[in-house]
Amino acid sequence: MIRHLRWKVVATNMLLISLVLLAVFAAVVLISRSNYRRSVQQQMYQALESGDYGSRQPGAEGIPCFVAEVYASGTARVAGNSYYDLSDQSQLAAIVTAALAQEEDTGLLADFHLRYLRRTGYTSTLIAFTDTTLESTTMRSMAAVCSLAGSAALVVLFLCSYLLSGVVTRPVGAAWAQQEQFLSDASHELKTPLTVILSSAELLNQSALPEQAAYIDNIRAEGRRMKLLVEDMLTLSRAQRSAGALPEQTVELSETAVTAALRFEPVAFEAGKRLEYDIAPSLPVRGDGTKLGQALAALLDNAVKYAADGTDIRLTAERQGRFAAVTVENRGADIPADKLPHIFDRFYRADEARTDGDSFGLGLPIAKAIIEAHRGTLRCESGSGVTRFIITLPLTAGKQERGADHA
């Protein structure tokens, strides 16, 4: 849990930092482009104001440009610096014609990669041109520099964020560890007195008077209920502590699923429901078969409790690429969308009206803790009268054993 919390802190920080950097670099590029275009515009204005184009080369200083002066008779003369090749008369004619045809006095000639500024006088029209290729190259270079700087900044900030997240989550981790230790210690300490209470109640029951029998039965029932709660709390604590410390052995998930199904077939039958199962053969996973069976039992027990009377409960296990997928499905009332994110919380029950005395809301948290300890995922889908719990576990190379299909 603490590891997930730490990565969430890092991810949140990096998202916010990335957005800030993106906004800053975008602003830098946009402002630079705006300033560059303003400089280009000023350079073209200066070129138009230069006067004698025959003796002077427009754009000789600053951004290169050239000027065309078009007379009313249709003739034109062009002056510019050595940056431009002005020897192609047909190309120049096409450029000037395109500029004269534009409605706006300033704009872009995309076909020629030129920006123009036009000013109409009494006897002639002056048009200044500058190449947009230089602008594009400058902007691309700036974007590349920003990208490199941003990437380097993100790497450094990621390392800083990761280190700081450890400091931030350390108190949370310590508090969580203390809570887990308290639950484990309390559960251990409660087991012995509960055993004494139940044993004493059994002895009393053997010699109890008729009027005392009902009270002794209540003691025994509540004692068993408390014992179940203590065992569930111990199981949850152990499952959460076992993450990353599971035995490195191959378990045949197919056999574990079949065993769980056979165990719950009579349970479902007594509840007026039917359990169907379809288990694919050879689903080797790494971990603890007993704990995986416990997780499946928790999901099947939940399905039996909440499936509608007379409906089928379905357990399937199949291979999906490099993963094994196990699904427990039942028909009945949907889990409300606002409660769905909380069903794996401790002591949480989506339907308070449909609980029995032996349910404490720990079955699903135990199942999730066990599956996550096996590097898997457990999620729930509920809608259109169908609720599904889906387990995904990574497969491992193991002995190919034959599974079972049954319905």
pLDDT at residue 328 tops 90: yes
Task: Enumerate residues 6+ apart whose C-beta is below 8 A from 401.
Answer: 252, 254, 255, 281, 282
Alpha carbon distance 208, 46 (integer Å): 114
What secondary structure letter does DSSP report for 248?
-
* Stretch 317-327: mean pLDDT: 93
**pLDDT: which is higher, 353 or 247:** 247
Strand partners, 70: 76, 125
pLDDT digits (tens, 9 = 90+) for 84-136: 667 778 888 888 888 888 888 888 888 888 889 988 887 788 888 888 887 78
Mean pLDDT of 22-41: 86
Name the CATH superfamily, with its identifier, for domain 250-406. Answer: Histidine kinase-like ATPase, C-terminal domain (3.30.565.10)
* Mean pLDDT of the 136-162 span: 85
Residue 316: the pLDDT is 93
Looking at mean pLDDT, say which of 40-44, 213-217, 257-261 comes out highest: 257-261
pLDDT digits (tens, 9 = 90+) for 291-308: 898 889 889 988 998 899
CB 69 within 8 A of CB 126: yes
Q: Are 283 and 323 in contact (CB under 8 A)?
A: no
In angstroms, the CA 313 to CA 315 distance is 7
Instruction: Kindly tell me if the per-residue pLDDT of 184 is higher than 70.
Output: no
Please write the tens of the pLDDT for every residue from 229-275. 676 666 666 666 655 556 678 889 999 999 999 988 888 998 899 99
Per-residue pLDDT at 56: 47
pLDDT tier for residue 399 given thresholds of 50, 70 and 90: very low
Which residues on adjacent β-strands are paired with residue 366? Answer: none
Name the percent of the chain lying above pLDDT 90: 14
User: Would you tell me the crossing angle of helices 253-270 and 289-306 to the nearest 10 degrees?
Assistant: 30
Report the relative pairing of strands 250-252 and 114-120 from DSSP bridges.
Answer: unpaired
Task: Give the residue among 49, 365, 3, 307 at the shortest CA–CA distance from 162.
Answer: 3
Name, of 18-32, 39-53, 225-239, the range with top average pLDDT.
18-32
pLDDT attached to residue 236 = 66
DSSP state, residue 41: H
pLDDT at 42 over 80: yes
DSSP-derived 3-state class of residue 77: strand
What is the full DSSP assignment across 159-216?
Answer: HHHHHHHHHHHHHHHHHHHHHHHHHHHHHHHHHHHHHHHHHHHHHHHHT--HHHHHHH
The reply to whether the predicted model has a pTM over 0.75 is no
8 Å CB contact between 128 and 48:
yes
Residues 332-348: tens digit of each pLDDT? 888 888 888 888 877 76
Domain boundaries, the chain: 2-137, 250-406
